[in-house]
Amino acid sequence: MRSLKTIALLLLAVSTAAVAADNPKLLSVKLSSDTVVGGNQLHGTVTLNETAPYDVEVSLAADPGNAASVPARVTIPAGSTNASFAITTLRNGPGAGGSDAVVTVYGNYGVTKSGSFTVLPPPSFDQMIDRVVQRERILVAAMKGMHPLAETYIQDLHESKSHNVEPISDHYFLGRLDFDNGPQDVLFQKQHAASMRAFLSVLSAAFTSRFLPRGFAQMVLLDENFQKSNYYFNFVREEFLGEARCIVIDVQPKEKAQSGLFTGRIWVEDREFNIVRFNGTYSTRSRYTYYLHFDSWRLNVQPHLWLPAYIYIEESGTKLKNPPFHTLYFKAQTRLWAYDPESLKHDEEFTDIKVDSSVNDQGSVADKSPVEAQRLWERMAEDNAIDHLQKIGLLAPRGEVDKVLQTVTNNLIITNKLDIEPDVRCRVLLTTPLESFTIGHTIVVSRGLLDVLPDEASLAMIVAHELGHIALGHRLNTNLAFADRFFFPDLATFEHLDFARSAADEEAADHKAMELLANSPYKDKLANTGLFLEALQDHAALSNLISPHLGNRMRNHNSIRMAALLKSAPALENQHVDQIAALPIGSRIKLDPWNDELKLTKIRPVTLLSAQEKMPFEVAPFFPYLSYDEPKGQAQVAENATRP
């Protein structure tokens, strides 16, 4: 039976339609899903038949009201045609007792429209495991058609007698994952197999092939052939990971199951029962095989799609008793991105070009002077290189982090009254190694370098050095203006592109950068920039972290970039809690693994309790805030839901 609230809403529709005959009317009420498990949310979208000339309030109601709740109204802003709202189902309402319940959501503005969905009863534990297995098998099948980039950075650790743990060496791999024949990581060329063997030097050469049988790539998937019959499943508890309410389950292989199966703990979100996190290792029966312990996270990058994004690996002084193995003591991070290469091919930019080209804004002069032609030619080479790097997933699309870099760049340009044509642009390289370089008049800074810089003045130091190259007229090789120069495999990019400068150009850029900083708003804040350089020198053992892909090294043997700033820097005090010379990796930038967009992280300030917690340049575990990727327009849901 319909509630009184719903009936009143229907009656109101008649009078509203009579009064608002010439105004916009409600066209539809659409729901994000046809079914939902009781206790979970879904979303609705109300759409008008035309653009709202002013803020339009659409009245809402749900029937039966004891099965789901909606806000009393949702506002469609002026200039829009739709708005979204949250629908909350009740865990103990109809549908929770073992039978389905159909809920109708009504909306009214001029006319009444509705949409319906079914509330399903929460499944039993055994039924839930069936759904988990089904969703995991769907993911495995989907991953076979994807080839994301995967970057692994490893730091070997040493613990002193005073129990201070610090990295003493490092290793780095960047490749593209291939799941067609099981998880495999195909490395970018210029990274040789010797690099992997160096990491595995803790083992004798005769047994390296048995260590990590399928490498770090295996940790992306829980089980390529996940079957319920192979495992024991034990409920642990419920907990939230961000906004995702999860069922926590311990998973162990059965005694007669094959070796190499996952053993550990999984977190399952309770809307569609996707595994969003798994933590543990793989079982083994061979005395010469050892699997690493890892914590693997997935993000909801598209509606109904959770993809691997972060993996933290750690072996904290693990002692292997069987020879020829030795003690393992390291920590590592694996990041995955560029799942959706189609979004990187500038379709939107092409649309913009077609629209702009219809307008002749060139004035009366059709031809370019030789100077203008040379500038355009150099810009073409620059754009070709940038487009290639973005297309293959190494360069982030333009976004909010670029704007931060651009602000610092503009501060230096304006205060120094530089006249530069064409304009200076800024972009972010998506990899971890600390590097910056210029591609023509585009300043590129790596994500890893942005992560560890302690303050804006230190960022200004990096930008000033690259701006020095531009101001001094250090040009890009214009052979890149020919498109055929980029006709090579993606994984050969580092062999074909090189934006490193000569030692003389680097020294000249340093001198110019010091002039730029002396006239900038950062001139009184440069002491900490020198402190960052001191910390970089102090971590010289992390050779892979400071080995660039495309530019110059920040540190070479006994020399370091912008060395003049060391003179004004205070002494580095590693045991002083209040002195922050550099940040841990991952401190500032958040990477969307689907479309490669970068955002600044939202991290609460934390009071450090010991010097050990400073972790400059160090790898740390991942704990992302998990959220659901909703259909377009869901950004207004929270605001609308809180309105009376």
Per-residue pLDDT reduced to its tens digit, 6-38: 444 444 544 444 444 568 899 999 998 888 888
In a domain, 188, yes or no: yes
Same domain, 481 and 431: yes
Residue 545 tokens, joined? 């972290």
In a domain, 22, yes or no: yes
In a domain, 421, yes or no: yes
In a domain, 295, yes or no: yes
> Which amino acid does the sequence have at 494?
F
- Poorest-pLDDT segment among 70-79, 406-415, 430-439, 633-642: 633-642
Q: How far apart are CA 589 and CA 583, in angstroms?
A: 12
Q: 476-521: per-residue pLDDT in tens?
A: 999 999 999 999 998 899 999 999 999 999 999 999 999 999 999 9
Instruction: Provide the pairing of β-strand 149-159 with 165-178.
Output: antiparallel
pLDDT interval class at 322 (50, 70, 90):
low
Last residue of a domain, one of 323, 339, 355: 339
User: Which candidate, 622, 602, 606, places its Cα nearest to that of 614?
Assistant: 606
Q: How far apart are CA 82 and CA 67, in angstroms?
A: 25
Q: 223-267: per-residue pLDDT in tens?
A: 888 999 999 999 999 999 999 999 999 999 998 878 789 999 999
Q: What is the mean pLDDT of residues 609-633?
A: 86
Same domain, 392 and 479: yes
Q: What is the mean pLDDT of residues 551-569?
A: 89
In a domain, 624, yes or no: no
Same domain, 158 and 200: yes
Instruction: Provide the pairing of β-strand 35-37 with 111-120.
Output: parallel
Per-residue pLDDT for 334 more than 90? yes
Where residue 83 sits, what CATH number does that domain have?
A: 2.60.40.10
> Which amino acid does the sequence have at 156?
D
Same domain, 303 and 183: yes
Same domain, 175 and 107: no
Check residue 547 and report its DSSP letter. Answer: -
Contact 103, 90 (CB under 8 A): no
Same domain, 292 and 312: yes
In a domain, 284, yes or no: yes
Same domain, 474 and 541: yes
Same domain, 192 and 239: yes
- Poorest-pLDDT segment among 6-10, 125-129, 605-609: 6-10
- Residue 234, number of CB atoms within 10 A of its CB: 12
Same domain, 161 and 272: yes
pLDDT interval class at 3 (50, 70, 90):
low
Q: Helix or strand or coil: residue 383?
A: helix
What is the overall mean pLDDT for the chain? 84
Per-residue pLDDT for 196 more than 70? no
Could you tell me what percent of the chain has a pLDDT over 90?
A: 60
Q: What is the mean pLDDT of residues 309-322?
A: 77
Last residue of a domain, one of 339, 362, 391: 339
Same domain, 304 and 394: no
Contact 95, 135 (CB under 8 A): no
In a domain, 366, yes or no: no
| Total number of domains constituting the chain | 3
Q: How far apart are CA 120 and CA 36, in angstroms?
A: 6
Cβ neighbours of residue 46 closer than 8 Å, sequence gap 6 or more: 26, 28, 29, 58, 60, 74, 76, 82, 83, 84, 85, 107, 109, 113
Same domain, 393 and 404: yes
Q: What is the mean pLDDT of residues 304-309?
A: 93
In a domain, 359, yes or no: no
pLDDT score of 366: 76
Same domain, 267 and 389: no
Q: What is the mean pLDDT of residues 579-603?
A: 93
Burial of 92 per CB tally in 10 Å (0-12, 13-18, 19+): exposed
The parent domain of residue 483 ranges over 371-613
